[in-house]
């Protein structure tokens, strides 16, 4: 027994000794890959500046993963926001950073520097990933889509968000982690809002990255959009960031809470400029729910609701028009496309309810087995990707996979409900924070009914990280057998 304990201790010490070298090596590899790709992809003399960026990212990865996993998570979220930009020059930077992040965290767990909390939620996540992987390797009637192949969907819809949930639950379970995460989300939202405004007023020189302005990339080039190159995705992130900003602005104990309020001001403008009805609807429902239940920061949502009602009232004719650029909501072309999409998805599920047609096969199904909804134009939505996440999960992977997917969401709601009962009514780590988790999950789910949320890794990761932090708070409290308010920052620690 003593020998076994000694061997375990020796193994842990060896891993701790090797971890800095391993992480430094990973950071160096990422830096070299970025440097080579950027330099070879551009003849501009500024391309050499990629060396500085690469080395900076390598240093951030090394320091963040060695000293603070939270820093690694936040760096990944920012970099993943620009994944489409780096993809244009052949750099899967989000995947490289994720390997560094998860590898560093796993080494820390193996060396007993950190502890992994695994339970029902994580088991369901693992089962869902396994079902996706089986579908990817199995033979199917149609070929996989080129734009969103199986490995990409597996990463963005499951591996990235689920891994960040596990990491956040086990390591980001203190108030300082909450603050850091929420400030990063607010910063992302402020950036997206300003980019949308710059596009609207014609300040294109201030738009970064410039590929946002390239009409040949992504979708909705006629609308305001961010680095995700999709106005709907851009809007979802903005609504999520708006929730974070209003929550932080309402925390009297935070020194910089007015900064959160300032950052929140351009976000509704950015949301409007996406010209995406589903985003507007989700934002409106979130405001109504917050007015009903957001004790302590309800006043901000009331103000937003009044401004929104006044704007709609003053522009009622435009609101009822079909001109999306002026705020009209009655254009029918996209509605017809979505209805045909639902008809095709339902028919696909009925044909193969258990195994589905195969991950990433729906565009082919929608080409060869397209259906129309009633009297809707048959060609509406023909050959497009799916615009309903739950239904496309069932159509591609089967009803069992859909059941597991829904079970994950329900399990998270139950776990955060446990946190709601234990958290205090005031403070940063309070019931208000759990309400923000529920609002964000509601926004994410509502939009998943009209877009394929699986392809937006950064949005999924942001939502699941948020949930992981909430579940981690109550885990930590239960393990310490103490109220959560006793697990906040020690006296004398300032709250930025």
Is residue 221 very low, low, confident or very high in pLDDT (cuts 50, 70, 90)?
Answer: confident
> What pLDDT is stored for residue 244 in this prediction?
93
Q: Which residue has the higher pLDDT, 173 or 180?
A: 180
pLDDT at residue 489 above 50? no
Q: Are residues 376 and 354 in the same domain?
A: yes
Q: Are residues 94 and 204 in the same domain?
A: no
* Torsion angle (degrees, nearest 10) of CA 323, 326, 330, 335: 80
Q: Which residue has the higher pLDDT, 362 or 62?
A: 362
Q: Which residue has the higher pLDDT, 357 or 44?
A: 357
Q: Are residues 311 and 436 in the same domain?
A: yes
The answer to whether the beta carbons of residues 180 and 70 sit under 8 Å apart is yes
Q: Are residues 106 and 210 in the same domain?
A: no
> What pLDDT is stored for residue 57 in this prediction?
57
Q: How many residues can be counted in the chain?
A: 496
> What pLDDT is stored for residue 145 in this prediction?
86
> What pLDDT is stored for residue 110 in this prediction?
74
Q: Are residues 294 and 391 in the same domain?
A: yes
pLDDT at residue 40 above 60? no
Q: Which residue has the higher pLDDT, 474 or 126?
A: 126
Q: Which two tokens stand for residue 488?
A: 């906040």
Q: Which residue has the higher pLDDT, 24 or 293?
A: 293
Is residue 194 very low, low, confident or very high in pLDDT (cuts 50, 70, 90)?
Answer: very high
Q: Which two tokens stand for residue 295?
A: 């004790």
> What pLDDT is stored for residue 117 in this prediction?
77
Q: Are residues 201 and 53 in the same domain?
A: no
> What pLDDT is stored for residue 46 in this prediction?
43
> What pLDDT is stored for residue 29 in this prediction?
59
Is residue 347 very low, low, confident or very high in pLDDT (cuts 50, 70, 90)?
Answer: very high
- CA–CA separation, 334 vs 380, rounded Å? 8
In this structure, of 29-43, 157-171, 304-318, the range with the lowest mean pLDDT score is 29-43
In the block, which residue shows the tokens 């393990």?
479
- CA–CA separation, 28 vs 25, rounded Å? 5
> Which of 114, 147, 176 corresponds to the end of one domain?
114
Q: 109-147 burial string, b = 16+ CB within 10 Å, else e?
A: bebeebeebeeebbebbeebbebbbebbeeebebebbee
Mean pLDDT confidence for 341-355: 94
In this structure, of 31-40, 120-129, 147-156, 470-479, the range with the lowest mean pLDDT score is 31-40
What is the span of the domain harbouring residue 49? 1-114
Is residue 297 very low, low, confident or very high in pLDDT (cuts 50, 70, 90)?
Answer: low
Mean pLDDT confidence for 269-279: 86
> What pLDDT is stored for residue 366 in this prediction?
93
Distances (CA, A) of 2 to 16, 110, 114: 21, 20, 23
pLDDT at residue 279 above 50? yes
Is residue 365 very low, low, confident or very high in pLDDT (cuts 50, 70, 90)?
Answer: very high
> Which of 58, 85, 114 corresponds to the end of one domain?
114
Is residue 35 very low, low, confident or very high in pLDDT (cuts 50, 70, 90)?
Answer: low
Q: Are residues 127 and 18 in the same domain?
A: no
> What share of the chain has pLDDT > 70, as a percent?
75
Residue of 304, 299, 259, 264 whose CA lies nearest to 284: 304
- First-to-last alpha carbon distance for the chain, in angstroms, is 48
Q: Are residues 106 and 131 in the same domain?
A: no
- CA–CA separation, 378 vs 391, rounded Å? 20
- CA–CA separation, 448 vs 17, rounded Å? 44
In the block, which residue shows the tokens 């397209």?
370
Is residue 300 very low, low, confident or very high in pLDDT (cuts 50, 70, 90)?
Answer: low
In the block, which residue shows the tokens 């650029």?
325
Q: Which residue has the higher pLDDT, 481 or 242?
A: 242
pLDDT at residue 252 above 90? no
Mean pLDDT confidence for 404-415: 96
Helix (H, G, I), strand (E, B) or coil at 350: helix
Q: Which residue has the higher pLDDT, 103 or 136?
A: 136
Query: In the predicted model, what is the mean pLDDT of the chain?
Result: 80
- CA–CA separation, 268 vs 272, rounded Å? 6
pLDDT at residue 52 above 90? no
Mean pLDDT confidence for 246-250: 87
Distances (CA, A) of 169 to 24, 93, 302, 351, 427: 25, 24, 32, 39, 20
Q: Are residues 152 and 224 in the same domain?
A: yes
* Region class of 218: left (phi > 0), else alpha (psi between -120 and 50), else beta: left
Residue of 368, 352, 381 whose CA lies nearest to 452: 381
> Which of 114, 135, 159 corresponds to the end of one domain?
114
DSSP 8-state class, residue 211: G
Q: Are residues 109 and 137 in the same domain?
A: no
Q: Are residues 294 and 428 in the same domain?
A: yes
Q: Are residues 194 and 144 in the same domain?
A: yes
> What pLDDT is stored for residue 437 in this prediction?
94
- Total domain count, the chain: 2
pLDDT at residue 364 above 70? yes
pLDDT at residue 349 above 90? yes
């Amino acid at each position: 027994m003593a020998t076994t304990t000694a061997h375990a201790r020796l193994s842990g010490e060896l891993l701790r000794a090797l971890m800095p070298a391993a992480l430094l090596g990973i950071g160096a590899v990422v830096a070299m890959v970025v440097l080579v790709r950027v330099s070879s992809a551009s003849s501009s003399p500024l391309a050499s500046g990629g060396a500085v960026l690469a080395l900076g990212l390598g240093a951030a990865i090394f320091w963040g993963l060695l000293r603070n996993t939270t820093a690694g998570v936040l760096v990944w979220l920012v970099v993943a926001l620009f994944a489409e930009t780096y993809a244009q020059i052949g750099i899967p930077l989000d995947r490289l950073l994720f390997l560094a992040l998860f590898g560093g965290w796993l080494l820390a767990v193996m060396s007993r520097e950190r502890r992994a909390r695994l339970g029902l939620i994580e088991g369901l996540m693992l089962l869902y990933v396994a079902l996706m992987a089986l579908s990817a390797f199995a033979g199917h009637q149609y070929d996989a889509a080129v734009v969103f192949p199986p490995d990409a969907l597996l990463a963005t819809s499951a591996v990235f968000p689920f891994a960040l949930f596990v990491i956040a639950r086990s390591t980001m379970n203190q108030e300082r982690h909450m603050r850091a995460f929420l400030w990063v989300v607010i910063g992302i939202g402020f950036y997206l809002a300003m980019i949308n405004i710059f596009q609207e007023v014609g300040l294109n020189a201030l738009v970064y990255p410039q590929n946002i302005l390239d009409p040949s990339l992504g979708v909705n080039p006629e609308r305001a959009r961010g680095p995700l190159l999709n106005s709907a995705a851009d809007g979802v992130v903005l609504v999520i960031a708006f929730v974070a900003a209003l929550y932080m602005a309402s925390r009297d104990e935070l020194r910089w809470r007015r900064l959160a309020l300032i950052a929140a001001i351009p976000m509704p403008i950015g949301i409007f400029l996406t010209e995406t009805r589903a985003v507007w609807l989700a934002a409106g429902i979130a405001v109504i729910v917050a007015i009903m239940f957001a004790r302590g920061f309800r006043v901000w949502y009331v103000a937003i609701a009044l401004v929104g009602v006044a704007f709609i009232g003053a522009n009622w004719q435009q609101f009822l028009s079909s001109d999306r650029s002026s705020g009209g909501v009655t254009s029918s072309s996209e509605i017809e496309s979505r209805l045909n999409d639902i008809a095709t998805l339902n028919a696909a599920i009925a044909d193969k309810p258990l195994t589905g047609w195969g991950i990433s096969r729906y565009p082919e199904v929608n080409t060869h087995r397209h259906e129309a909804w009633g009297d809707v134009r048959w060609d509406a939505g023909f050959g497009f990707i799916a615009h309903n996440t739950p239904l496309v999960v069932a159509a591609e992977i089967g009803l069992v996979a859909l059941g597991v997917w829904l079970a994950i969401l329900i399990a998270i709601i139950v776990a955060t409900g446990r946190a709601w009962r234990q958290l205090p009514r005031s403070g940063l780590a309070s019931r208000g924070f759990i309400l923000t988790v529920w609002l964000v999950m509601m926004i994410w789910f509502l939009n998943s009914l009209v877009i394929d949320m699986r392809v937006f890794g950064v949005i999924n990761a942001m939502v699941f990280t948020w949930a992981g932090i909430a579940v981690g708070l109550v885990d930590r409290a239960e393990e310490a057998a103490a109220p959560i308010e006793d697990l906040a920052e020690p006296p004398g620690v300032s709250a930025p």
